[in-house]
Amino acid sequence: MKSRVWTIGAMMMTLSMLMGGCGKEEAKPVDIVEGVDKCDVCHMNVANDHNASEIVLQNGKVLKFDDIGCMYRWTKEHENEQVEARFVRDYLSKEWVNTDQATYVYDKTFQTPMGYGVYSFKDKAAAEAFVKEKQTGSVMSVQDLDKHAWESSMKKHGQSDGHPESGQHGTSDAQQTHN
């Protein structure tokens, strides 16, 4: 009788351990809905392009950003949030890539929605080839991005925080007047 109770107990314990490991799915990025989705930092429309990025919180909420710099700005301002995963888009294919697996290229002249000048690549060789082809830019890892200054080129246009007050991406006051 004792061995039967022990066997049933051991089976229950094994079953509960197996079920505990099966519970949560891996975080995944969600589709961008152009014209609807807004950046969680600058509140501009998020284009379904290579500049889009996302954060999935542990509670399942997905935050969307129009520029990698906005994602990093949010991360810095919300250090205590429970982040499950962060995703960027491959510059060439627009495929979603976990930030930890991507390679980045930075140059202050690269055009991004909020002027942070960082592009992401799923493949380090592709990032290096891009720098070689453009003859400008620095290849960076996610650890390099964590230490990056995150200054926007939009400061040149009179905005104090790199986010235009006009509601238009990357457009200076002078350009808006002529549009």
Residue 40 lies inside a defined structural domain of this protein: yes
Task: Give the position of tokens 């099966």.
Answer: 22
Identify the domain containing residue 128 by its residue range: 25-164
Residue 87 lies inside a defined structural domain of this protein: yes
Residue 130 lies inside a defined structural domain of this protein: yes
| CA angle in degrees (0–180, nearest 5) for 42-46-50 | 115
Residue 61 lies inside a defined structural domain of this protein: yes
Residue 169 lies inside a defined structural domain of this protein: no
Residue 10 belongs to what H/E stretch? helix 2-22
**Count of domains forming the chain:** 1
Give 127's Cβ-side CA count (13 Å radius).
21
DSSP labels, 135-163: T--EEE-HHHHHH-----GGGGGT-SSSS
pLDDT tens track of the chain, all 179 residues? Answer: 555 544 454 444 444 444 444 556 789 999 999 999 999 999 999 999 999 999 999 999 999 999 999 999 999 999 989 999 999 999 999 999 999 999 999 999 999 999 999 999 999 999 999 999 999 999 999 999 989 888 888 754 444 444 443 333 333 333 333 33
